[in-house]
Amino acid sequence: MTIFCVARNYVAHARELNNPVPEDPVIFIKPAAALLTDNKPFHLPSHSQQVDYEAEIVVRMSKGGRSISESDAASCYDQVAVGIDFTARDIQNHCKQKGLPWEIAKGFDESAAVSDFFPRDHFGAFHQLPFELTQNGKVVQRGNVNEMLFSVEFLISYISSIFTISEGDILFTGTPFGVGQVHSGDLLEGFIAGTKLLTCEVRNRE
C-alpha cells in the first residue's frame, strides 16, 4: 500500500507558507508505517520541535493502473476519508534551505492519520465536499474539494503517468489555509460535511 500525497494544492495554503503556486502537482510519498488509523493518538517525533497539522480529504483507490486517463480516473477511487498530514515544519524548512528531500519531515511514523473510509458520495456530491479541522474545539482549517488547484481525477492521471497505482493505495489531496503547530495534550478532530470522522489526541512519545 502506497500513501501518495499532494503539496500546495490549495492556493491560499501555498501562499501562507511563502511557496509559489505550482504549475504541476507537487507529489511526495509516505511509507506504510506512517499510517495512523482507528482514532489512535499521535505521538510527537523526537527529531522535531515544530510539528504542524494539515487537514486533508483522502481517497482510496478501488483499482489501479498505469497511465490512467483523466476521463477514466473517476472510476478508480470509490471511498473518502478525512486525514491529517503531520509535518515536521522545522525539519522541512531546513531541508528546503539546503535543497534536500523532505522525507524526514513528512514520512515519519504516525504522520498520516486517517479516519474510517466511506463511499465517495456518502456525504453529498464529492466535488462539493466541505471539510474542517478543530484543535481543542476551535475550528482552525476549513476547505472544500471544489477549491483544489488540481482535481482528484487530474492527480490520479498525473501520478499514474509516473508511478503504477495499486488497488488500496490512498491519496492525500492537499491541505487548505490555516495550518498550525500541535502540542502534547491537543485534541484534533476532523469533519466532512459537518460529520465528525476523526479524533486524534497528541501525546509526547515515552
For the segment 57-77, what is each residue's pLDDT rounded down to a tens digit? 999 999 999 999 999 999 999
Residue 150 and residue 154: Cα distance in Å, rounded?
6
Sheet with 51-53: list strands edge to edge: 87-88, 51-53, 180-181
Residue 38 grid coordinates? 482507528
Beta bridge partners of 77: 61
Percentages (nearest 5) of helix, strand, coil residues in the chain:
20, 35, 40
Report the distance separating Cα 4 and Cα 152, nearest Å.
12
Mean pLDDT by 10-residue block, N- to C-terminus, for the chain (206 residues)? Answer: 94 67 90 97 96 98 96 96 97 92 94 98 96 98 95 97 97 95 98 98 90
Contacts made by residues 125-130, CB under 8 angstroms, sequence distance 24+? 126/80, 126/152, 127/151, 129/57, 129/80, 129/192, 129/193, 130/192, 130/193, 130/194
8 sits in the region (left: phi over 0; alpha: psi -120 to 50; else beta) called left
Instruction: Summarize pLDDT for 42-60 with one digit per residue, the tens.
Output: 999 999 999 999 999 999 9
Fold of 3-204: Fumarylacetoacetate hydrolase; domain 2 (3.90.850)
What is the structure's pLDDT at 12?
66
Q: Find the length of the chain.
A: 206
Please give the mean pLDDT across all residues of the chain.
94
